[in-house]
Structure 1
Amino acid sequence: MRRATRRFAAIGWMVGLAQIGAAVPAAAQDLADTRRALYEGRYADVLRDTRSAESPAAVALRVRALLDTGEYDDAIRLLGGPAGPASSPAVERWLGEALMRVGRLDEAEAAFARAEAGGAPDALSARVRRAEILYLRGRADDAFDLFDGFIDVYNSGRQLSADDLLAVATAVSYLGRRTPVLFQDALKAYDEAAAAAPGDPRPLVAIGDLFLAKYNGPEAHAAYRQVLATNGSHPDALLGEARTLEFDGAPGTLTLANDALDTNPNHVAARLFLARQQLRTEDYEQAREQVDEALAVNPSSLDALSMLAAVHYLEGDRAAYAAARDRALTLNPAWPDLFNTVAELAVDTRKYAEAVDLARQAVERDSLSWRGWGILGTNQLRIGLIETGQANLERAFAGDPYSVWLKNNLDLLDTFDQYRVIETPRFEIMLHASEADVLEPYVVAVAEEAFAALSERYGAVPPTPIRLELYPRSADFSVRTFGLVGLGALGVSFGSTLVMDSPSARERGAFNWQSTLWHEMAHAFHLGMSDHNVPRWFSEGLAVREQRVARPWWGHRVTPLWLQAWDSGQMPPVSQLNDAFVRPAFPEQVILAYLQGSLVFDWIETEWGIEAIRAFLTGYRDGRSTNELARDVLGLSTSALDDGFDRYVRDRFDREFASTTGGLAPTPLSRAAGQVGPGATDVESLRTQARQRPGDFDARLQLARALVREERFDEAENEAREALRLFPTYGGPNGPWHLLAAVHESRGESRQAADALRAAAALDESAVPVLMREAELRRELGDAEGERTALARAVEAWPYDVGPHERLAELHAAAGDTRAAVIERHAVVGLEPADMAEARYLLAVALRDDDRPDEARTQVLRALEIAPGYDAALELLLELRGGAR
């Protein structure tokens, strides 16, 4: 399989930046100060200095300032008045630019044609824009005939201005859709344009746009930021940077987009960007307002009409969707990006099968829509159509070999032959061959348990088989999820396709993969029951609750950080909780939103029962909103829903609120609870702080930690118990229970220490070291059942150490749990211990005890293949054969 041998980022860009930084204009130019003011975003200065402009160069600068600030009608009046077009072909191009911004394409095309016919200095710019109009109208062949001519222009050897080079680059970037290698030439021409006009933002913005289209965020950032370093109000660069931050999943996108609109209130693309953000939070009314603003500026904008169609589609108004779709297709019957836009937004709301249908319509309209082929293939992978999806991604990559997104997906698919697929009646489980022997019994067991438990809770089942993929590299999981490395999540559900990190993808004790698997399985039920219409906050919060229902130690815990954020108004109310997931206001807000969502469902199920939650899910399936369902299912208005939850959490966690927020000096949200401020590090300083703030959990905990470090255990016990009284559900690292365990161990109180460690682990789903130490203490005490419980929890989170499996198998066998003993013996074999003959023999013994003689015979024979003279194995084989019928 062929792949691009280098990333698009490598093509001449960094060299170009160095050249740009050192570039010096070839000759002094008129209006240099005004031009510099334009480049730096001092638009008022430009407009003042060109108020009486007469020369084409001065008029061009004035028009550019008007276009950057959205004064399109003023530009048209300036150029289209009595002293306008008739006076000089040199300004016709700028009239056409202004007319295009407001969708008057016939008039724009005529203006561009006049510029060319009149021999204007910027005739090439007029020609490329005329070709773009042809392309927008669906006359692709005519447009490409014009674009083709720019290659001859570039190769002619004549001196080209910066505007000429921009025109060449634009034309060649279009040609790249048919001949991908030409994207390199487009980038080269943009670099040359930037060198020819130092400080002009247009080439750099175009470079950023080109890289962003290829999913190369870092290079796009570099280009946009270079513009913004000189002109912090440039609307196109601000929007480009907003799009790049969205691409990276970073906060600040709305601020940048709104900044772009502050400069240019008529910026259609910025309006549509905001509309997309509103759609992601399912705020259809606000999204529609932004689209309406865009269409008021440019009624012929295919992008705006596509976004209008998306609004109606996601609202479920298929008649209005069809009307908006047909309106766009009347302007351009071959326009694929209407369907691509709606498909991508359908993905944002987890409608993957619908995205497949929409992307298929895109490529039917335009077989060269590599974006459409990519969306089609990616979403086929998400719904489990692996071979078909791969074929379509291959087709997309053949047409767009510089797309990092496509390349990453295909590179990942090339590794699938390294995985083993285990099929059960309900599941297709894909595990890497290097760890499949260890993980298979556990994965099958927890998946089947989750399916049975959730089926009973919801009274429904999702479509089966459910495909479950575990990746030993987080980067591969990230690529599988959205095509790029860097996703911070642990798992993702696409409905009946679930993908996640395997336990080996993270450090020992970093997460509990079984808890994550249960969380993703819950999503399969939520998406199935709601027909993929459930809001993200609802499904995420409910899935965290399902973790805690399954195992009391699983799922997120209330933290001082969440209590402080809630108390200070930094977390949104329930009715706006989607905002925290889609556009977090601070880095920790997403993880806090998971916790908050789960608390909402603690409240709902406690007060109204699981039936209410089921009613919400089926209501979403029928197209109803959260506000409607809260009213009809819970009997609550939107404000009552928000107020009721606030009362619930304040009553439930009144002690915790008091010890972290109420009446105390605020703790900055930028630091985790349990970290004191500068200067308070020694015991006496901490003691003073604790005495001044006796009800402050953080102060008492820090003092207890310091006392343990100094081995002042009696004093430490008092402080730790006081911290525990103030915040009994604290599950953070080195919390009160950990400190009490240390105190008890120092006194030789092993049973009390083991009990404290168990209490600590009950608040932390991934506490592997804590559980292993508890198991050691339980063994010393002769508490076999306690040791078994601790070891079972430890291997649940980290299954790669052979010793705990061996010991746990012995304990399960002694307790008569033969099925569990078999699982542990399978794990030992999968970890390939030094004595594999003994490992297989002991597995055979466990299988015999579990009344599985055929499997036992297979394993004992494999032991004898390794060690033919193994007496115990020979005796077991004779026993098994004697029992054969």
Structure 2
Amino acid sequence: MTRRTFRQTWAGAALTGVCVLLAAAGVLAQAQSPAPQTAAAPVPLARAVRFALGHGNADEARRLVQQSRETANKKAVATALIAIYEGKDDDARRALTPLTVGETSDDDALVELGLIEIRHGRKDEGEALLQRVISSQSDLDTDGFLRLARAADATGDVNLANSVFQRIGSSETDRPDVQAQWGDLFLKTHANAEAARSYQDALRADENWIPALLGNARALADDDPDESGKALTKTQQLAPKSPDVWLLVAERQIAAQDFATAKATLDKVASFRAGWLEELALRAAALYAVGTAKDADPILAQAAAINPRSPVVARAVAAQAAQLYRFDDAVTLARGAVKIDPDEAGPHADLGSYLLRTGDEAEARTELEAAFKTDPYDTITFNLLQMLDTLEKFTVVKDGDFVFKFAPESAAVLTQYAVPLAKQAYAEYSERYGFKPRGPIYIEIFDNHDQFAVRTIGLPGIAGALGACFGRVVAMDSPKARPPGDFSWQATLWHEIAHVFTLQLSDYKVPRWLTEGLSQYEEHRRSAPWGRELTMQYSRELALGSQFTFKRLSESFKLSSRIAMAYFEASLVAEQLESMGGVTALRTLLTSYAAGANDTEAFTKAFGKTVPEIEAGFRAFVDQRFGSLRDALKDPAPKVADDDVAGLKARAEAQQGSYIAQTTYAAAALQARQADEAKRALERAAQLAPAAGGEDGPFALLAEMAAEAGDKTTARKHLRHLLDYDHDNLSAARTLATLAADGGATAELDFALTRIADLDPFDADAHTQLGRRELAQNRTERAIIEFASALALGPANLAEAHTDLGEAYLKAGRKDDAKKEAFIALEQAPTFARAQDLLLAAIGKAVR
């Protein structure tokens, strides 16, 4: 929603202020604008107390009540506000109830008592009190409008609440409580950007307004985590006794899996506000995280005694289960939340998203539709429903333990490659880990990256992610989702299937760094260049003094700027771990986590060493593996200007073991048209850093220089080496294919064509050429796959494509299939001699 009116919903229904006024039975028409107050008008006691509490100062609020000369009723309301802040709803109820009886009832008392009743599961009683406020308002001042907005929001009429805030928000810019509560309404309806603007408006009125700082911390958590963190830190400094502050601190600690610290923080929350459902929710989530669902049962019972109609605790535990990838638990817990309050949208949305992660898309749709019907403002719910609409049109391929879903435009091609690759991975991992995972395993491959992103997190645009595994469900980008050569989709599939095994074998308790490290390492075991793309960058970090610790590695997975390097380093740890104890130790490590072991216990059982000992061993492993490259990538001295060719040459000659000295001189020499000098420097650089890739790396440049000089053999040698490390360099593969074809280098041609087809399976020409090479070497089944793929892509020359496939069928002894392809080819081109010869051969007649 927006300040002027609710935003148009994704369903397309615009809810305008006019509609709201009609629905509100003319309430706002009766109350024109806030009644003016003179500058000398005293601040009502209730507002003064709220302002003290809004700064986290309950002691000041009590002082205001004690020193007030207001009436006993006004003081009773103010005292009740303090009691509510401290979680003493029973005390507040006793103070407020007498003030809600009769014609002279207090509107503040009606709102606060109504909210108390709703908080304790007496929804009908609470809404009855709030409706009295909604229906009786006229000639309202700002405080009256604020009461009306809160009452409307609590009874589910967010349209009316927003209209009220529209009326007072633009004029009461000096009221932080108005602006912050408007922000809360936006946050509740998933309009985080609007919420953040309202909180900023509140902070302009009062930079120390705690509800606005906390709201800002929540609203900015995803889009601007640094500012979110700063806002939360400021609240801790300003209001060290605020339960609201420490609740959000505990929430962040749980998100960081610092459960012991979170428990201490929650104890602090309880000391300031006991029996608060939100505190109990986080406490239950933390207990579940370090134990089982049964450990949360006592708190669920405690929550039910406070409010039997609130699913907040059950939802929190379910969310924690999902955070830990225990989606079966999450589904069970979310079903409990739905049962507690089947009319609330949130539990249905939660359950729907968790069911998607267990592969139950039919029931997920039912739950998401129920959620969207109640809350049409939830973008994630809408996105997931749209994604399911798309997924229903996918081609489904069932094969053994797998259920594949492909976009229809890609299915014919990808089925030929993804299915056998996944089955190969399953067979290898089953033998390697001595374990068969629970199935079926769903693999969904999206041609559109945003659709994959929605399948993964409910929102489009997750940069960098290529695939995701939830234990039994894998979602990933297809080669069409990104520019050709941007990534290896085969490496991604191999990586994600490894997660199926490590997650399930550890009962979803393996640390993230370890499961990612094992998956990345399994890529490298399958194909040497897979999973080792950052060798140069990692060695450069070592050259700059980077030091490994498990703690630093784990923290790197939480930083977007470090995530790629974290994957790489974790894969090296996995490799070193296997070198210490073999795959048996890796299995023991994973099953130890499944049994409930912590890091120290699991590593000691698997390897007989402590974590510090393993850290020391890893540093030695890295030094042995990367020491030479690390030294070559250290900064050379002295510094020399990029255009000082003579100075760069002198430095390169003096420091022949410096990769940076060689490449910077080579770049300057090329700029100065000194090709021979550049070549010598690049050759030294290539010897120092065999893993150097990229279009501007030494191997690519040397290949280009050799080709320009007519030395195609040397050019092919450099390109072949480059592709041994820079495996997804499609441009290099295409160049190698051209050079190999021109030079009759069949082995290099086969290699290049295979790499092109692997990286860009929608290149029909590559499939055709590769098919002909396979057929020439009597690998007929492979040739059939390549020709069928080329044909599925709609080549320009259909007659030739059908003839290619027919010739492969004929060589495989499938004469009927060959005859069929020949007929189709001749329908396209009746005089095509190859097709005519194919038909004659297929029917047993002599070929001309």
Does TM-score exceed 0.5, indicating one fold?
Answer: yes
* 1:63 matches 2:43: no
RMSD over aligned Cα atoms: 3.3
Give me the whole-angstrom Cα distance separating, in 2, the residues matched to 1:685 and 1:100: 75
Q: Could you tell me whether the CA contact under 8 Å between 1:235 and 1:264 is conserved in 2?
A: yes
Give me the whole-angstrom Cα distance separating, in 2, the residues matched to 1:11 and 1:879: 78
- Please tell me the residue identity of whatever aligns with 1:128: V
Which among 539, 543, 552 is matched to residue 519 of structure 2?
A: 543
Deviates more, 1:637-646 or 1:796-805: 637-646
1:671 alignment counterpart: none
**TM-score calculated relative to the size of structure 1:** 0.86
Give me the whole-angstrom Cα distance separating, in 1, the residues matched to 2:535 and 2:185: 43
SS in 2 for 1:470: strand
Which string of whole-angstrom CA distances, capped at 9 and with x for unpartnered residues, describes residues 690-747 of structure 1?
6898765445323323433544222112322333344433345522222222232233
Deviates more, 1:519-528 or 1:272-281: 272-281
Alignment of 1:51-450 (within 5 A): 56-57=43-44, 63-76=49-62, 78-79=64-65, 81=66, 83=67, 87-113=71-97, 123-153=106-136, 158-176=138-156, 182-228=157-203, 231-248=206-223, 250=225, 253-450=228-425
- Please tell me the residue identity of whatever aligns with 1:722: R
Which among 418, 425, 437 is matched to residue 462 of structure 1?
A: 437
Give me the whole-angstrom Cα distance separating, in 1, the residues matched to 2:682 and 2:213: 51
Q: Could you tell me whether the CA contact under 8 Å between 1:113 and 1:130 is conserved in 2?
A: yes
Q: Could you tell me whether the CA contact under 8 Å between 1:543 and 1:598 is conserved in 2?
A: yes
Distance 1:319 1:403, change over 3 A: closer
Which string of whole-angstrom CA distances, capped at 9 and with x for unpartnered residues, describes residues 266-294 of structure 1?
34344333333333443321222222222
Q: Could you tell me whether the CA contact under 8 Å between 1:92 and 1:114 is conserved in 2?
A: no
- Please tell me the residue identity of whatever aligns with 1:615: T
User: What fraction of aligned residue pairs are identical, expressed as a percent?
Assistant: 30
- Please tell me the residue identity of whatever aligns with 2:39: D
Give me the whole-angstrom Cα distance separating, in 2, the residues matched to 1:84 and 1:571: 62
Q: How far is the alpha carbon of 1:314 from its aligned partner?
A: 1.4
- Please tell me the residue identity of whatever aligns with 2:470: F
Distance 1:150 1:513, change over 3 A: farther
2:502 alignment counterpart: 526
Which string of whole-angstrom CA distances, capped at 9 and with x for unpartnered residues, describes residues 52-71 of structure 1?
xxx554x5565345323422
Q: How far is the alpha carbon of 1:370 from its aligned partner?
A: 0.8
2:795 alignment counterpart: 833
Give me the whole-angstrom Cα distance separating, in 2, the residues matched to 1:640 and 1:119: 76
Distance 1:27 1:183, change over 3 A: closer
Q: Could you tell me whether the CA contact under 8 Å between 1:455 and 1:461 is conserved in 2?
A: yes
Distance 1:644 1:505, change over 3 A: same
- Please tell me the residue identity of whatever aligns with 1:599: L
Give me the whole-angstrom Cα distance separating, in 2, the residues matched to 1:287 and 1:854: 70
Q: Could you tell me whether the CA contact under 8 Å between 1:306 and 1:337 is conserved in 2?
A: yes
Distance 1:357 1:869, change over 3 A: farther
Q: How far is the alpha carbon of 1:866 from its aligned partner?
A: 4.7
- Please tell me the residue identity of whatever aligns with 2:272: V
Q: How far is the alpha carbon of 1:441 from its aligned partner?
A: 0.6
Q: Could you tell me whether the CA contact under 8 Å between 1:205 and 1:240 is conserved in 2?
A: yes
- Please tell me the residue identity of whatever aligns with 1:66: A
1:824 alignment counterpart: 786
SS in 2 for 1:800: coil
Distance 1:708 1:819, change over 3 A: farther
Which string of whole-angstrom CA distances, capped at 9 and with x for unpartnered residues, describes residues 185-222 of structure 1?
22222232322421323333334333333434433333
Give me the whole-angstrom Cα distance separating, in 1, the residues matched to 2:461 and 2:667: 35
1:637 alignment counterpart: 610
Alignment of 1:473-622 (within 5 A): 473-488=448-463, 489-559=465-535, 561-563=537-539, 573-575=549-551, 577-582=553-558, 584=559, 587-622=560-595
Q: Could you tell me whether the CA contact under 8 Å between 1:376 and 1:389 is conserved in 2?
A: yes
Distance 1:567 1:187, change over 3 A: farther
Distance 1:607 1:190, change over 3 A: same
Alignment of 1:670-819 (within 5 A): 680=642, 683=645, 697-819=659-781
Distance 1:331 1:234, change over 3 A: same
Q: Could you tell me whether the CA contact under 8 Å between 2:35 and 2:140 is conserved in 1?
A: no
2:39 alignment counterpart: 30
Q: Could you tell me whether the CA contact under 8 Å between 2:430 and 2:436 is conserved in 1?
A: yes
Distance 1:659 1:462, change over 3 A: same
- Please tell me the residue identity of whatever aligns with 1:545: Y
Q: How far is the alpha carbon of 1:567 from its aligned partner?
A: 7.0
Give me the whole-angstrom Cα distance separating, in 1, the residues matched to 2:99 and 2:643: 74
Q: Could you tell me whether the CA contact under 8 Å between 1:563 and 1:660 is conserved in 2?
A: yes
Q: Could you tell me whether the CA contact under 8 Å between 2:469 and 2:499 is conserved in 1?
A: yes
SS in 2 for 1:658: helix
Deviates more, 1:406-415 or 1:872-881: 872-881
- Please tell me the residue identity of whatever aligns with 1:98: I
2:24 alignment counterpart: none
Give me the whole-angstrom Cα distance separating, in 2, the residues matched to 1:861 and 1:463: 46
- Please tell me the residue identity of whatever aligns with 2:691: T
Which among 798, 804, 825 is matched to residue 842 of structure 1?
A: 804
Give me the whole-angstrom Cα distance separating, in 1, the residues matched to 2:15 and 2:778: 61
Which string of whole-angstrom CA distances, capped at 9 and with x for unpartnered residues, describes residues 345-371 of structure 1?
111111112111111000101111211
Distance 1:882 1:194, change over 3 A: same
Aligned length: 823
SS in 2 for 1:762: helix
Give me the whole-angstrom Cα distance separating, in 2, the residues matched to 1:508 and 1:571: 36
Give me the whole-angstrom Cα distance separating, in 1, the residues matched to 2:655 and 2:53: 59
Distance 1:497 1:152, change over 3 A: same
Give me the whole-angstrom Cα distance separating, in 1, the residues matched to 2:52 and 2:237: 14
- Please tell me the residue identity of whatever aligns with 2:142: A
1:37 alignment counterpart: none
Distance 1:563 1:834, change over 3 A: closer
Q: Could you tell me whether the CA contact under 8 Å between 2:11 and 2:376 is conserved in 1?
A: no
Q: Could you tell me whether the CA contact under 8 Å between 2:642 and 2:664 is conserved in 1?
A: no
Give me the whole-angstrom Cα distance separating, in 2, the residues matched to 1:663 and 1:253: 40
Q: Could you tell me whether the CA contact under 8 Å between 1:603 and 1:648 is conserved in 2?
A: yes
1:19 alignment counterpart: none
Give me the whole-angstrom Cα distance separating, in 2, the residues matched to 1:29 and 1:569: 66
- Please tell me the residue identity of whatever aligns with 2:373: A
- Please tell me the residue identity of whatever aligns with 2:664: Q
SS in 2 for 1:275: helix
SS in 1 for 2:557: helix
1:42 alignment counterpart: none
Q: How far is the alpha carbon of 1:515 from its aligned partner?
A: 0.9
Give me the whole-angstrom Cα distance separating, in 1, the residues matched to 2:504 and 2:737: 41
Deviates more, 1:511-520 or 1:242-251: 242-251
Q: Could you tell me whether the CA contact under 8 Å between 1:281 and 1:579 is conserved in 2?
A: no
Distance 1:845 1:93, change over 3 A: farther
SS in 1 for 2:575: helix
- Please tell me the residue identity of whatever aligns with 2:155: L
- Please tell me the residue identity of whatever aligns with 1:211: F
- Please tell me the residue identity of whatever aligns with 1:415: T
Give me the whole-angstrom Cα distance separating, in 1, the residues matched to 2:644 and 2:132: 76
- Please tell me the residue identity of whatever aligns with 1:30: A
Report 1 or 2 for greater relative contact order, CA contacts < 8 Å, sequence distance ≥ 6. 1
Distance 1:415 1:100, change over 3 A: same
**TM-score calculated relative to the size of structure 2:** 0.89
